[in-house]
Amino acid sequence: MPNAIIYVFSGTYHTLKTAEMLKNHLEEGHISVTIHEVCEPISHIPAPAEGDIVGFGYPVHAFNAPQLFLRFVSSLPPAQHNRAFIFKTSGEPFHINDASSYKLYRMLLKKGYDVVQELHMLMPYNILRRYPDGLVKQMVLYSDAQSRMLAMRLLNGERARLHYTLRHRLVSLIFRIEWFGAWFNGMFYRVDTSKCTRCLKCVHSCPALNISFDGSRFHFARSCTMCMRCAMYCPADAMHIGLLQPFKVNGGYAFSRILADPEIPVDYVNPKTKGYFRLFRKFFVRADAELAAYGITIPGHTPQPAAEPPEFEVFEAYQQEQAVGEQEQAGSAAANLAE
């Protein structure tokens, strides 16, 4: 069996957690797996060997792959008979996140990789808002099950890729302005010296080597990727993240505690869910169907019945139906004129 190598960029370690899930499930199939975290200096990260299965994993940043991760992929040599797979994580299940890998996919094709699998998984937000423990538990359990499914697909030699619609690709392209936004917002980062304990955790852990300390002051360069690692894991909550300060989430998720707590339900999103999280149901229902095809179950979870489409999807379907009807009417009118 070939070996596997997984390259993963993971600001707050959520995508790394899914990479470790994949590693465990691939090794159950007797494939040796090595994980490399993508961070500066990227020149120190080894290239895959001939014939390796190569995984590329990242968190979705504004409907795109992080610029640092793409720069690393661009630095890789041409493939040597390598199959590849892509996995991505985001805090919301919308299809527009699928298009985040379009540029990465094109880069891999140009380098000669045979991209055979692609998977979108959910993990909790590290900005905007802290997700409730119940949703975190549901996301992690589903991600583990989907990782097992991806491993089975790779071991079986199957092919399954996400589809990139033109509309989603255009939105992804427009939101690539986030790359500039990360640079711009990075100019406003600062440390609250009244809180800071000088532990230098932010300096030593920044994947972009963007933070330094000269003994008296912290300095921020212009290579911030807005990965939120410094903000989330500062033990003193001393990091001020510029214009995004109102949306900061400080303190990592206690995954082990959440998963072990039987009082936290597995099905936080369910048929009775109201409000914004109701829109997540379709993702979990579709995942249930895919997992069932591989005989994969989630402990304590009852597969959900088919979800009703959100109102905007119903309206979109109605518009498409109307357009088809108008085309048919136009065709009939043209035929009558021809007669």
Same fold, 4-173 and 178-247: no
Tell me how far apart the alpha carbons of residues 182 and 168 are, in angstroms, rounded to a whole number.
22
Classified as helix, coil or strand, 59 is strand
Tell me how far apart the alpha carbons of residues 303 and 294 are, in angstroms, rounded to a whole number.
14
Q: What is the pTM of this model?
A: 0.87
Domain range summary for the chain, segments of one domain joined by +: 4-173, 178-247, 311-339
- Condensed to tens digits (0 to 9), the pLDDT of residues 287-303 reads 999 999 999 999 899 88
- Condensed to tens digits (0 to 9), the pLDDT of residues 306-338 reads 755 554 454 444 445 455 455 544 554 444 434
Quote the pLDDT of residue 273: 95
Overall fold of domain 178-247: Alpha-Beta Plaits (3.30.70)
- In whole numbers, what is the pLDDT of the chain averaged over residues? 89
Tell me how far apart the alpha carbons of residues 149 and 161 are, in angstroms, rounded to a whole number.
14
CA neighbours closer than 13 Å in the CB half-sphere of residue 13: 12
Spatial neighbors of 250 by CB under 8 A, at least 6 apart, are 231, 232, 234, 237, 239
- Condensed to tens digits (0 to 9), the pLDDT of residues 33-87 reads 999 999 999 999 999 999 999 999 999 998 889 999 999 999 999 999 999 999 9
Percentage of the chain with pLDDT > 70?
85
Classified as helix, coil or strand, 288 is helix
Spatial neighbors of 254 by CB under 8 A, at least 6 apart, are none
Residue pair 12/233 in contact by the 8 Å Cβ criterion: yes
Q: Is the per-residue pLDDT at 16 higher than 60? A: yes
Amino acid at 55: G
CATH tag, 4-173: 3.40.50.360
